[in-house]
Amino acid sequence: MSHNYSPQTATFPVVRMRRLRYNKLIRELVQENAVTADKLIYPLFIRQGKNIRTPINSMPGVFQLSIDELVREVEELRTLGIGGILLFGIPDVKDSCGSDATSDNGIIAQAVRAAKDAAQNKLLVITDLCFCEYTDHGHCGILTNRTGQTDVDNDATLKIIAEQALVHARAGADLIAPSGMIDGMIGAIRTALDMNQFEHLPMMSYAAKYASGFYGPFREAAESTPQFGDRRSYQMDPAAAAQQALREVELDLAEGADIVMVKPAMVYLDIMRMVREHFPNVPLAAYNVSGEYSMIKAAAERGWIDESRIVRETLTAIHRAGASIIITYWAKDIAKNVL
């Protein structure tokens, strides 16, 4: 196996090793050992309102929460020793450029402030940074017709991505997770953060994210289904050369990513292994996505498989493939030892 990544590609101030050392929780997050609660991240879907706890049909055990319910949830989670929560905002009003996401009073800003307060620094408050939950067309950025087809305008989107990152940072996010697969997004965010005294704030990049059918149930949860077309012009083709994933990771690292992610997890273990081997000195995360969750839940509900056994086997496989950090809808059940 050749190791052609040169750590010299990027250097200070794009790279700051201290971003992953600035408090105990983030240091623990990047330690490497077996699957334990402190390496798990729990996704949560947040919307406006009060006393809202709406079940997601296709994801038994997962809910859309209003902020008061989020606070109650975080108060419980902070005693369980999980690594962090990953917040997704679902605004009441969506428009063509996802304005709610760039407002300091938008749903995600409110959710982060409330979660940070309730977390009392016992878990990391992580934000998914993307536009698909905020736009009325459901795509991950601003649209253009310039290319002869309606598509996400890469460079116009970078500008609002940077604004979105500052909203998350000002609200107090501990770690930002950009998921839009827009070229240059990590660099654009890093620059915006560094110019605004957030040079300590780390990023976990959805670096190798595939255009996947496994996101189906998530789009019900986040109400982010594209209103036309699909995401194949920005997310990776599952049939592309596996090496394309290395290129994505390499670019994100050069732009200042601190942690990189492979997504989905279960059918991309080969990619994880490859990334692990080529970048042995970078923390690797995997997203055990909604479709992976729903398949196991559905089969378990029918009594066809043993949920607890299969989940533990799955998470172990992801860890074995090289991902030390796992984002999973089972994080709470694992931490509570009810699985």
Nearest-approach distance from CB 116 to ligand PBG, in angstroms? 21
Hey, what are 1's tokens?
């196996």
The yes or no reply on residue 268 touching ligand PBG (CB under 6 A) is: no
Q: In 142-289, where does DSSP find H-type helix?
A: 154-171, 185-195, 216-222, 243-254, 269-278
- 194's CB contacts (< 8 A; 6+ apart) are 13
The yes or no reply on residue 130 touching ligand PBG (CB under 6 A) is: yes
Nearest-approach distance from CB 85 to ligand PBG, in angstroms? 14
**HEC per residue, 169-182:** HHHCCCEEEECCCC
Nearest-approach distance from CB 322 to ligand PBG, in angstroms? 20
Choose among 79, 51, 76: nearest CA to 65. Answer: 51
Cis peptide before 13 (omega within 30 of 0): yes
Q: Which of 39, 94, 209, 297 is catalytic?
A: 209
Query: Annotated catalytic, 263?
Result: yes
Q: Choose the stretch contacting ligand PBG; rule: CB under 6 A; options: 47-55, 66-74, 126-134, 301-309.
A: 126-134
Output the CA angle 326-332-336, nearest 5 degrees: 120
Choose among 6, 21, 85, 20: nearest CA to 284. Answer: 20
The only residue of 173, 188, 289, 318 in contact with ligand PBG, by rule CB under 6 A: 289
Nearest-approach distance from CB 235 to ligand PBG, in angstroms? 6
The yes or no reply on residue 128 touching ligand PBG (CB under 6 A) is: yes
CA separation for the pair 219, 58 (Å, rounded): 10
Q: Which of residues 41-100 bind ligand PBG (CB under 6 A)?
A: none
Output the CA angle 258-261-265, nearest 5 degrees: 160
Question: Strand, coil or helix: what is 236?
Answer: strand
Query: Total binding residues for ligand PBG by CB under 6 A?
Result: 9
CA separation for the pair 99, 103 (Å, rounded): 7
The residue with its CB nearest to ligand PBG is: 218
Q: Choose the stretch contacting ligand PBG; rule: CB under 6 A; options: 77-85, 124-132, 163-171, 189-197.
A: 124-132
| Paired strand residues for 91 | none
The yes or no reply on residue 248 touching ligand PBG (CB under 6 A) is: no
223-246 b/e (C-beta count within 10 Å ≥ 16 → b): bbeeeeeebeebbbeeeeeeeebb
The yes or no reply on residue 218 touching ligand PBG (CB under 6 A) is: yes
The yes or no reply on residue 179 touching ligand PBG (CB under 6 A) is: yes
Query: Annotated catalytic, 209?
Result: yes
- 214's CB contacts (< 8 A; 6+ apart) are 264, 266, 267, 289, 290, 291, 292
| Residue that has been written with the tokens 């982010």 in this structure | 224
| Paired strand residues for 151 | 144
Smaller CB separation from ligand PBG, 22 or 63: 63
Q: Which of 263, 297, 332, 336 is catalytic?
A: 263
Smaller CB separation from ligand PBG, 14 or 245: 245
Smaller CB separation from ligand PBG, 132 or 318: 132
Smaller CB separation from ligand PBG, 218 or 330: 218
Q: Choose the stretch contacting ligand PBG; rule: CB under 6 A; options: 46-54, 99-107, 125-133, 251-259.
A: 125-133
The only residue of 134, 215, 234, 279 in contact with ligand PBG, by rule CB under 6 A: 215
Nearest-approach distance from CB 231 to ligand PBG, in angstroms? 6
Active site residues: 209, 263
Site of interaction with ligand PBG (CB under 6 A): 128, 130, 132, 179, 215, 218, 231, 289-290
